[in-house]
């Protein structure tokens, strides 16, 4: 069968590559054409556009690049029409994917959404478009099934979280190799994950690094985002106890004693690596006031949202300051607190449904395609 997959970000490339491998196992004759990145390209198929050409985030950036975005949408529709796939598989990236899905539905092409949009966080009115434009939803967070089925009467499949597989299947690096390869010191590591966008990184790193001199027995290591050059981070590396590693976040987390993490998927990744963490977030006053009014969630970290209680400490806006970060980080390094937190992380992983998300999703996609419509 012919599959057209659209992933528009680095995380989508990772999960898309694992899904493609599983699809080839389920359907050895699969013909896959896709928008994605290097990992998906390594899995096989034909790359149409790299996600680096699609990475427009934030209202202003989208506005300035509107012509390019509209051109990409037009090109995508044309490419799909010429390929004539048996199914389109959308991976996250809702701003673009939901527009393509609306069109695809009118063309009679089966639409499958893997890693559905986070409309439970904001823009819940998008549920009407989701129910109208998607034939199948494969959700990766346990509370999403209740959100769609109980609240909005739309059947979905909970397949588990693909991060569990991505972490368990990765090639591991010994501690001595990691230290030597990255020219680090023989000190315990505190990982800093400040986000991926320049404005976010600048704001978060400034406050995260304000506690460095209080933890001289540890070395602080910044996880560089794939989207940023090393030169951007140079001003933050003046302190001799601060190091930088690009594109090796999983290796870094596997050898870290603790972490300061900006909200997002990284909070869940850190927990799955069983690294005690403090979640930090600080935006502009205006952005925070707007977000506070349109996002009604109790927590900002996926760890706490999934567990429906505060497992990891969240320092948001004014609470995200040097004094509080120092206090919370000191607590993370206490053996008894760490033991209790890691037990909570074990419960979190169990709640996420275990391994096999890609295989479950691929099997259901193939089964759904073979079923009479």
CB 48 within 8 A of CB 79: yes
In the numeric block, the tokens 């599959």 are attached to: 3
CB 280 within 8 A of CB 261: yes
Q: Are 2-160+356-370 and 168-351 in the same CATH fold?
A: yes
What pLDDT shows up at residue 287? Answer: 58
State how far the alpha carbon of 22 is from the alpha carbons of 13, 27, 30, 82, 359, in Å. 14, 8, 11, 25, 5
What pLDDT shows up at residue 210? Answer: 95
What pLDDT shows up at residue 288? Answer: 54
Q: What is the dihedral of CA 290, 119, 92, 276, to 10 degrees?
A: 70
Collect the ranges in the chain with pLDDT lower than 70: 55-66, 284-296, 373
State how far the alpha carbon of 285 is from the alpha carbons of 186, 288, 317, 323, in Å. 40, 5, 8, 20
H or E element at residue 190: strand 189-193
CB 73 within 8 A of CB 85: no
Cβ neighbours for 180, distance < 8 A, ≥ 6 positions apart: none
What pLDDT shows up at residue 69? Answer: 74
What pLDDT shows up at residue 162? Answer: 94
pLDDT tens, 107-155? 999 999 999 888 887 788 899 999 999 999 999 999 999 999 999 999 9
What pLDDT shows up at residue 335? Answer: 96
In the numeric block, the tokens 């050059």 are attached to: 229
State how far the alpha carbon of 12 is from the alpha carbons of 89, 190, 257, 296, in Å. 11, 27, 28, 26
Q: Which of 248, 246, 256, 254 is nearest to 224 (CA)?
A: 246
Cβ neighbours for 136, distance < 8 A, ≥ 6 positions apart: 110, 111, 112, 113, 157, 364, 365, 368
- Where in the chain are the domains? 2-160+356-370, 168-351
Q: Where does residue 338 rank: exposed (0-12), middle (13-18), buried (19+ CB within 10 A)?
A: middle
H or E element at residue 219: strand 219-224
CATH of span 2-160+356-370: 3.40.50.2000
pLDDT tens, 348-368? 999 998 889 999 999 999 999
Q: Which of 162, 165, 154 is nearest to 120 (CA)?
A: 154
Q: Which is it for strands 219-224 and 242-246: parallel, antiparallel or unpaired?
A: parallel
CA distance 43 to 36: 11
154 by DSSP, 3-state: which? coil
State how far the alpha carbon of 282 is from the alpha carbons of 195, 200, 287, 291, 310, in Å. 11, 8, 10, 12, 19
193 by DSSP, 3-state: which? strand
Check: CATH 3.40.50.2000 for 168-351?
Answer: yes
């Amino acid at each position: 069968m012919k599959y057209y997959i659209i992933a528009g970000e680095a995380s989508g490339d990772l999960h898309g590559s694992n899904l493609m491998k599983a699809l080839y196992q389920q359907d050895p004759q699969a013909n896959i054409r896709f928008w994605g990145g290097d990992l998906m390209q390594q899995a096989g198929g034909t790359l149409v556009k790299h996600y680096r050409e699609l990475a427009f985030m934030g209202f202003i950036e989208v506005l300035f690049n509107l012509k390019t975005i509209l051109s990409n949408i037009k090109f995508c529709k044309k490419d799909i029409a010429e390929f004539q796939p048996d199914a389109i598989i959308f991976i996250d990236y809702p701003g673009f994917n939901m527009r393509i899905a609306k069109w695809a539905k009118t063309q009679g092409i089966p639409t499958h959404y893997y890693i559905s949009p986070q409309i439970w966080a904001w823009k819940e009115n998008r549920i009407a478009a989701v129910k109208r434009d998607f034939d199948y939803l494969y959700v990766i967070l346990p509370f999403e099934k209740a959100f769609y089925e109980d609240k909005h009467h739309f059947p979905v499949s909970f397949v588990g979280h693909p991060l569990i597989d991505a972490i368990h299947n990765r090639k591991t690096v010994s501690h001595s190799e990691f230290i030597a390869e990255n020219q680090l010191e023989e000190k315990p590591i505190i990982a800093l994950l400040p986000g991926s966008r320049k404005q976010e990184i600048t704001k978060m790193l400034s406050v995260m690094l304000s506690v460095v001199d209080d933890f001289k027995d540890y070395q602080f290591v910044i996880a560089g985002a794939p989207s940023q050059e090393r030169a951007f981070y140079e001003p933050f590396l003046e302190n001799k106890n601060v190091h930088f590693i690009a594109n090796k976040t999983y290796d870094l987390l596997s050898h870290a004693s603790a972490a300061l993490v900006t909200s997002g998927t990284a909070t869940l990744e850190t927990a799955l690596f069983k690294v005690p963490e403090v979640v930090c977030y600080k935006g502009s006053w205006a952005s925070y006031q707007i977000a506070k009014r349109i996002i009604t969630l109790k927590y900002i970290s996926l760890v706490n949202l999934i567990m429906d209680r505060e497992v990891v400490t969240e320092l948001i806006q004014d609470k995200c300051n040097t004094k509080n970060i120092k206090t919370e980080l000191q607590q993370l390094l206490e053996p008894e607190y760490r033991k209790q937190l890691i037990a909570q992380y074990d419960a979190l992983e169990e709640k996420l449904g275990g391994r096999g998300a890609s295989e479950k999703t691929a099997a259901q996609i193939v089964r759904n395609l073979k079923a009479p419509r």
